[in-house]
Amino acid sequence: MSNLKKIGNKLFKETTELKSQDVELATQKVELALIDDIKSEMATANKGAIKGIDMIEAAKKPLENSLRDNKSLVKKLERTKKAAIELGASEILREVQKFEQQVKENIKTIDKILGGL
């Protein structure tokens, strides 16, 4: 009888250990499923940010080109203004000054936009 009791105790102990391992495995599966869910949600949440960043980068290049072109235009307008003064062409001077003012405003606006990106 004592051998049967030893066998019974041993089987009970092994069964308890197996149940404990099953619980641990089930817990690990749940934890892994939660991690997978979080990874999936992070990917979804970041997708919009990545798309937005790509759009900003795409918009940045034309703004930088426009800024460069406007700065070049200011230099050209300054040369034209100087020539108009030397020639005494007041009407052309007034026209150039209007253009120059607009171009300088464009530069400020573009700088402001690029500064915010």
- b/e string for 62-88 if b means 16 or more Cβ within 10 A? eeeebbeebeebbeebeebbeebeeee
Instruction: Report the alpha-carbon distance of residue 105 to residue 114 in Å, rounded.
Output: 14
Residue entry with tokens 């949440």: 45
Residues 6+ apart with CB under 8 A from 16: none
Give the chain's largest Cα–Cα span. Answer: 127
pTM for the structure as a whole:
0.57
pLDDT tens per residue, range 47-67: 888 888 888 888 899 999 999
Q: Domain extents for the chain?
A: 2-116
pLDDT tens per residue, range 19-43: 666 556 566 666 677 778 888 888 8
